[in-house]
Amino acid sequence: MRNDLYSFVNEFNNMFYDGGYKAFPIDVLETENGYEVVADIAGVKKEDIKIEFEDGILTIMATLPKNKENKKYLIHERLNQRLRRTINFGDIKEDSIKASYENGLLTVNILLKKEEKVKKTIEIQ
């Protein structure tokens, strides 16, 4: 009974978080040239994952497959869900973002923009 009640309360709370989306665990690692994001989204097909980057914010969205069968569950925690995580990175090279997905782990590699020092001669008027 505790699991059913816990699942109900957890699901109810998540309806008001991020537009009904649930979060999933991620690791963000700092690399020599930027960042690496590793997201645990097992059970999702690669086609059901969407990655967007806008205004310095990386958004990862996924949809878990719907259960079409009518079954009687004793414990039901793996619900039909929409998943989303957003991470603010600021100034990065948008065209350098690369992603791979294998065995339920999504890896996103991001390069930082290198500030180029510009030498400028100022003319005196």
Q: What is the pTM of this model?
A: 0.68
pLDDT tens for the chain, residues 1 to 125: 344 555 555 555 545 555 556 788 999 999 988 899 999 998 889 999 999 998 888 999 998 877 667 777 787 666 667 889 999 987 787 888 999 999 999 999 998 876 666 677 778 87
Write the DSSP string, 45-109: -GGGEEEEEETTEEEEEEEPPP--S----SS------EEEEEEE--SB-GGG-EEEEETTEEEEE
Q: What residue ranges define each of the domains in the chain, with the CATH number in brackets?
A: 22-66+79-113 (2.60.40.790)
